[in-house]
Amino acid sequence: MSVAKKEVKRITTHILLEMKKQGEKISMLTAYDFSMAKIIDDAGIDIILVGDSASNVMAGHETTLPITLDQMIYHAQSVVRGVSRALVVVDLPFGSYQANPEKALESSIRIMKESGGHAVKLEGGEEVKESVIRILASGIPVMGHLGLMPQSIYKYGTYSVRAKETDEAQKLISDAKLLESLGCFALVLEKIPAELASEVAKSVQIPIIGIGAGEGCDGQVLVSHDLLGITKDFHPRFLRRYADLYAVVKDAVSAYITDVKSGDFPNENERY
């Protein structure tokens, strides 16, 4: 029997470590609101990420940079109310931790106290070392994020695959080992060569969650709206669509409009 399928009332960071030890893959999806969180939690997802991708998906921004800490807390509050089993991880948004370790700790404490989330996630390796140390020292679990880091989009200027060159690949491996040594319970590796991601997963004891990082990772994460086909114009190679909800919702709304215009809705069975 899988670790996650035992009589587990709540997924914890310890359970995730046991899953890696036993070779059980970890499933992770994003959620930004109560309704979606409840559905994917009921389906049995292991981790729900309240991602700063809400900036793109929910608010229509081109990047993740505009979303604020207050907005992230609002989304996280909504998600936590819909979850009974999954571990809820909340992104520290751009500007909430880069200034100094004290700012990073203050932001993390606000997320934990005000949202009820279970852990925070932040991007970077050596450059965020002191912030990770401060956050972990306060008792807050931290998930790292390496590879393509969307909050640094203007530094790199592109969303292309990262760590293809030897120097960057070696730095990524070094950063992964550093984050593990500091006490991070897991890492996200985004859009890097599959062989490199597999090497990292084998070189650390903590779970490696991939997005566009191949099958050698200990788990996978996708944006729920992408997986469900709500964001119809997003077609990266790493994305597998499991539904076409854009078409389903559009057809349903079109049918509703037709029924309203024709006078078919409401009928005598749909009134008081």
- CA distance linking residue 193 with residue 177, whole number of Å: 18
| Residue positions annotated with a catalytic role | 190
- Which three-class secondary structure state does DSSP give residue 49? strand
Class of residue 246 by CB neighbours under 10 A (exposed 0-12, middle 13-18, buried 19+):
middle
Backbone angles phi, psi at 92, to 5 degrees: -80, 120
CA 44 to chain CA mean position, Å: 16
From first to last of its 272 residues, the chain has per-residue pLDDT tens of 577 665 678 999 999 999 999 999 999 999 999 999 999 999 999 999 999 999 999 999 999 999 999 999 999 999 999 999 999 999 999 999 999 999 999 999 999 999 999 999 999 999 999 999 999 999 999 999 999 999 999 998 888 999 999 999 999 999 999 999 999 999 999 999 999 999 999 999 999 999 999 999 999 999 999 999 999 889 999 999 999 999 999 999 999 999 999 999 999 999 99
pLDDT of residue 1: 58
Query: What is the three-state SS of 81-141?
Result: HCCCCCEEEEECCCCCCCCCHHHHHHHHHHHHHHHCCCEEEEECCHHHHHHHHHHHHCCCC
Model pLDDT for residues 138-160, shown as the tens digit of each residue = 999 999 999 999 999 999 888 89
R_g (Cα) of the chain, nearest Å:
20
pLDDT of residue 2: 75
Neighbours of 205 (CB within 10 A): 8
Q: In this structure, are residues 83 and 34 in contact, taking their beta carbons and an 8 Å threshold? A: no
Model pLDDT for residues 60-86, shown as the tens digit of each residue = 999 999 999 999 999 999 999 999 999
Contacts of 223 (CB under 8 A, 6+ apart): 29, 30, 51, 53, 57, 231
pLDDT of residue 149: 96
Long-range contacts of 261-267 (CB under 8 A, 24+ apart): none
- CATH assignment of 13-241, given 3.30.70.1150, 2.60.130.10, 3.20.20.60, 3.30.1050.10? 3.20.20.60
pLDDT of residue 6: 59
Examine residue 93 and say whether the peptide bond preceding it is cis (omega within 30 degrees of 0): no
Domain boundaries, given as residue ranges, for the chain: 13-241, 246-272
